[in-house]
Structure 1
Amino acid sequence: MNIARKFTAAAAAAATAALLAAPAAATDLRFATGFAPNSTGEKGALAWADHARDISGGDLNIQVFAQSLLKFTEMSGGVRDGIADMGMVLFPYFPAEYPNSTMISELTMLFASMNTGDRGGIAWAGALTEYITQHCPACVEEMKAQNQIYTSSSSTEYLLMCTKEVKSLADMQGIRLRAPGAQWTRWAQSVGATTVSIPQPEIFEGLTQGILDCSLQGAAELVDLSLIDAVKYIVRDVPGGGFGGTGQVNVNIDTWQALTPEQRTDLLKSAAYHGAVVSWNYHVNNKAALEKAAEKGIGIIDPADDLRSHTVAFIENDLANIARNYQEKYGLKDTEQAVATFKSIFERWTGLVADVQSAEELTDLYWNEALSKVDVNAYGF
């Protein structure tokens, strides 16, 4: 080898060594959510962005776009096509694209039959995270078909909020109800109510103008959507459930694969925090909103025995209907087993969250019980 070649080889080796020794460049990531600015959802996303930056040593810089980059109805395609690097994807908005995941989202009325109280949402988010990442390869594959990977979920309990007193089966006859999911629509039909389709920003107007008699919402929306000025009665425990089909941080696959294994691990750790902090904030804000409602004189009532017992019976019967519906409509396999598997996982999680007292404790649970078991070198490839 001549002197010039020796010099060139030495320089190349030195450059390669320097490159390997240098810290990875900070990665800028755009996250889109359909939550409104200053809402519980947006505040959770901003806290998550700070958390991701902290645990990655500044390596993950996440910019949050609340209702400005993509709407919830645009989210799946937007993340798929890279308009956002990451986004909050609501599976029930896209059942044909995410049938396996959407099927599970219809099971949240288990909150009522399992008597989860105000901890159904925090249990559900952990259970769904574990189920999709560890027990549902079909869920993972349907995400990949949309050029995405799933990381975590959030959830909260829904209550029946009405402008008139509704306690019994007889009271439900003819009630005009906003039901934000197929399972609640079936329940509404079973009790003689009529469902009305109204976008979330128009719920207040619907209640005040008599278009709606009742709406199913998280208690925090009493404040976030100003429903406290429209609602007169809140019914606990019936019909039960919450929104259970959240891809809290779905990541574009090209973005995911471009990250280093360390960055992927940090992103998963921060996704555990995001699901936890949003679910926990709803848990806390729901309580605070109900206290405000009581102070304002809104009636917070328990359902009559006939409405409660009808609802519990409906839930158990509807589990089989959900499995059959998704098998027939989308050609899914082993749906009864999938429902049974998730029900068992959810029951375990109701015990896991029983004594949790903070978002930090919940983050540890979501990480240790679910996301720490994901192989970042294989997942999403």
Structure 2
Amino acid sequence: MSRFHIVNDDTIARGGCTDVYFARCEEVLEKEGKNPRVTVEVTTTGVPGGRGIFCGLDNALALLEGLPVDVDAMPEGSAFYPREPVMRIAGRYRDFGRFETALLGFLCHASGVATAAARIKGAAGGRQVYSFGSRRQHPAIAPMIERAAWIGGVDGVSNTTAPPGIPVVGTMPHAYVMCHASPEEAWIAFDRHMPPGVPRLMLCDTFGDEKEECLKAAETGVATAVRLDTPRSRRGDMRAILEEVRWELDTHGHGDVGIFLSGGITEEDVLAYRDIVTAFGVGGAIANAQVIDFSLDIVEIEGRACAKRGKWSGTKQVWERPDGLHTILPVSVPGPADAAPMLVAQVRAGTIVGDTGMEAARARVLALL
């Protein structure tokens, strides 16, 4: 085990990170000489809000690359609904069965983050949303979290390990302000030393009343926005605080200074304050989002439709109409004339043939929003 209790890439890639019953059953099947050709599908029976955003395909394909399997899946950033297969794998069971644990982990976690990010971005009504959840997650998975949040539609992320191409943003911590003789000294020093492209978002609730510190920040002449990070234990009526701050900024001639809100922000907060807040920094509501409870189930064995109780047997295709409506049909049945198949080729005989581009996935989500 590593110093930080992290499983390394090689262990995951060889199937060493799995639930023990997969390893045990693989041993029994091998001794019995059984290795049927199967088709499995990845589905879920429930999605927060009724619609999810599919994410984590890049890791899933990297895991399955080189195995003697064919994989079809929805492109990342696609919307999906309960019971719809988001991925289909065809091959001999023992060749990929032990990878189920890691495969579902990739898809469940990343799809949960992307779905939460998309819901919050949609709720923001055009306001900017940033992923600020690095401290709410294990640092080893920060790049995955930020990638999924970016695909989900956020406008930037805070963690410095985010994949290339994602804007990395941030303001200042309370500790920074406390390292100076006064908040004013901290704000002016920040402006003096930060490059021009770094937004001058001044943290304004370290010592005093939010209104008081926001006015002081605006009066320095360097603030483009003031940031309130007041914890829930001190908020009181947050709506009243925001309205008071906005009123005082406007009354004193600082109408061009925006308000940035962070600190335990939820989707409900975004809906409640989006008319008065310029941008939101969202932490745990994205980084610790509810996972999508995907499962992987056999739907065909040796060419015969077969499924356990509660699952629909047979290989299926999901068809999407121009208006976004979906239809699930057996793969042998032609789809509606105006619809396109959503599960497309991703791996053929172990070779990746699909596109896992991050920006294309994000564009799909933004189009939905």
- TM-score w.r.t. the length of structure 2 is 0.23
Structure number with greater Rg is 2
Looking at secondary structure, tell me which structure has more helix per residue.
1
Structure number having the greater strand percentage: 2
Structure-1-length-normalised TM-score: 0.22
